[in-house]
């Protein structure tokens, strides 16, 4: 009954919102219109599921009455045969509704800032960082997301010391939020004459882009430097001071952007990264408090956690958080991340349902 009462309360709230939105006077209050429309959208899926669930429970009730009171043998037989199917549907709907009732991460629909940095392993770590960039780029193409580079620092042998980029589109953070952590690779480097397998690592950080109201930055806490861009970019790249470096003095965070030829655009991109990093620190502090109360299987707070190993000789990928091993490394490195991401989402939902 507790589940039904909760669903009735949600349905009542949804009906009230529908009534308010149908009032012509709402058009004069755009802020309220947007808020109510968003609330209606958030509740719609649960209400639709509840309506389907209520139809099933009404059918169960009707069949029980037939089984208890009817003298019609044929009708009783039909009702009896239907009961097993209806019970299975009812249980399935209850599980679906429980998942829908889990509070959604408000950041799931947000665009993201992604940072990939080479870790231990010298040139091979830099090459692996470039491989991860390619993997996420390919996945982004499949999803129809837009990728924009913010900063890139190349290393030897075609690798990367670090790269910072943004991804915008539908449910970007919701899909990539469990990618933060240390990614480890095991393979024979192209430069290794003896054929020995090396282990290298790169770190990935995925942060939601944030609105100004979520992060308050005092301009007096910033030191902003302008310098000439380096690296590839044409004849003008080193002639004009368009690159921007911003230092957040209280935290020591340094961000820079030299991807654009416009100083203003570089400054805007750099500020986006700074806000995302400051928000990320705040979120991790909150996550640490939650983790102290309950242990979660899929964590995204500790950036030093080794989350995944990519083993090339065995074409194997292992996600250590959920004990998942897949033997399709070549496809994954081409951006086929769907199965990995779905399994991580399911594990997270399962843990939340337990809690």
pLDDT at 193: 66
pLDDT at 336: 97
Query: Over the stretch 204-223, which tens digit does the pLDDT of each residue have?
Result: 999 998 876 577 788 889 99
> 58: exposed, middle or buried (C-beta count within 10 Å: 0-12, 13-18, 19+)?
exposed
CATH match for 2-101 among 1.20.58, 1.10.3470, 1.20.272, 1.20.120:
1.20.58
pLDDT at 343: 93
pLDDT reading at 157 higher than 60? yes
Query: Do the domains 112-294+303-354 and 2-101 match in fold?
Result: no
Q: What is the mean pLDDT of residues 140-165?
A: 92
- CB count within 10 Å of CB 114 equals 24
pLDDT at 332: 98
Q: How far apart are CA 202 and CA 309, in angstroms?
A: 11
pLDDT reading at 181 higher than 90? yes
Query: Over the stretch 106-118, which tens digit does the pLDDT of each residue have?
Result: 889 899 999 999 9
The pLDDT-based confidence of 305 (bands split at 50, 70, 90) is: confident
Spatial CB neighbours of 284, under 8 Å, sequence gap ≥ 6 = 301
- CB count within 10 Å of CB 341 equals 16
Q: Which residue has the higher pLDDT, 211 or 25?
A: 25
Q: How far apart are CA 205 and CA 353, in angstroms?
A: 26
Going by C-alpha positions, the residue among 122, 124, 120 that lies closest to residue 203 is 120
Going by C-alpha positions, the residue among 151, 104, 105, 114 that lies closest to residue 303 is 114
The pLDDT-based confidence of 163 (bands split at 50, 70, 90) is: very high
Which tokens go with 337? 């991340």
Query: Over the stretch 324-352, which tens digit does the pLDDT of each residue have?
Result: 999 999 999 999 999 999 999 989 888 87
Q: What are phi and psi of 204, to 5 degrees?
A: -125, 135
CB-CB contact of 44 with 28 (8 Å):
no
On average, the pLDDT of the chain sits at: 87
Q: What is the mean pLDDT of residues 54-61?
A: 93
Q: What is the mean pLDDT of residues 46-62?
A: 93
pLDDT reading at 49 higher than 70? yes
Q: What's 201's DSSP letter?
A: E
Percent of the chain whose predicted confidence (pLDDT) is above 90: 56
Q: How many CA atoms lie within 13 A of 200 on its CB side?
A: 24
b/e sequence 268-307, b meaning 16+ C-beta within 10 Å: ebbbbbbbbbbbbeebbeeeeeeeeeeebebbbbeeeeeb
Q: What is the mean pLDDT of residues 190-198?
A: 78
Q: What's 327's DSSP letter?
A: S
CB-CB contact of 188 with 136 (8 Å):
no
pLDDT at 346: 87
pLDDT at 303: 55
Q: How far apart are CA 126 and CA 109, in angstroms?
A: 31
Least confident of 190-199, 269-278, 286-295: 286-295
Query: Over the stretch 248-287, which tens digit does the pLDDT of each residue have?
Result: 999 999 999 987 778 888 988 999 899 998 988 888 876 6
Least confident of 9-18, 53-62, 139-148, 283-292: 283-292
Least confident of 10-14, 173-177, 238-242, 261-265: 238-242
pLDDT reading at 243 higher than 70? yes
pLDDT at 258: 84
The pLDDT-based confidence of 289 (bands split at 50, 70, 90) is: low
Angle (CA) 327-330-336 rounded to 5° is: 90
Class for domain 112-294+303-354, per CATH? alpha beta
Domains of the chain by residue range: 2-101, 112-294+303-354
Q: What's 104's DSSP letter?
A: P
pLDDT reading at 236 higher than 50? no
CB-CB contact of 168 with 111 (8 Å):
yes
b/e sequence 318-339, b meaning 16+ C-beta within 10 Å: bbebbeeebeebeebbebbbee
């Amino acid at each position: 009954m507790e589940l039904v009462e909760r669903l009735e309360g949600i349905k009542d709230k949804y009906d009230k919102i529908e009534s308010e939105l149908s009032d012509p006077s709402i058009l004069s209050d755009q802020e309220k219109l947007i808020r109510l429309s968003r609330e209606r959208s958030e509740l719609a899926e649960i209400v639709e599921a509840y309506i389907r669930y209520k139809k099933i429970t009404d059918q169960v009730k009707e069949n029980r009455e037939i089984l208890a009171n009817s003298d019609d043998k044929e009708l009783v037989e039909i009702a009896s045969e239907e009961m097993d199917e209806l019970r299975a549907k009812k249980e399935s709907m209850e599980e679906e509704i429980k998942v829908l009732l889990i509070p959604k991460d408000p950041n799931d629909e947000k665009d993201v800032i992604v940072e990939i940095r080479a870790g231990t392993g010298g040139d091979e770590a830099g090459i692996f960082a470039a491989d991860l960039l390619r993997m996420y780029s390919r996945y982004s193409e499949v999803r129809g997301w837009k990728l924009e580079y913010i900063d890139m620092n190349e290393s030897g042998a075609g690798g990367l010391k670090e790269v910072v980029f943004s991804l915008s589109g539908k449910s970007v953070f919701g899909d990539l939020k469990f990618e933060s952590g240390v990614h480890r690779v095991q393979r024979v480097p192209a430069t290794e004459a003896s054929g020995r397998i090396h282990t290298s690592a790169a770190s990935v950080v995925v942060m939601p882009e944030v609105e100004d109201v979520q992060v308050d930055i005092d301009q007096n806490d910033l030191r902003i430097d302008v310098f000439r861009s380096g690296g590839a970019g044409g004849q003008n790249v080193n002639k004009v001071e368009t690159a921007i470096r911003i230092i957040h003095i209280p935290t020591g965070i340094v961000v820079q952007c030299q991807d654009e030829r416009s100083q203003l655009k570089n400054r805007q991109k750099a500020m986006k990264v700074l806000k995302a990093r400051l928000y990320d620190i705040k979120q991790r502090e909150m996550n640490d408090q939650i983790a102290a109360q309950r242990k979660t299987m899929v964590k995204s707070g500790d950036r030093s956690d080794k989350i995944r190993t990519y083993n090339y000789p065995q074409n194997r990928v292992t996600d250590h958080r959920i004990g998942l091993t897949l033997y399709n490394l070549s496809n994954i490195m081409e951006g086929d991340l769907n199965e990995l991401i779905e399994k991580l989402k399911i594990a997270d939902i399962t843990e939340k349902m337990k809690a």
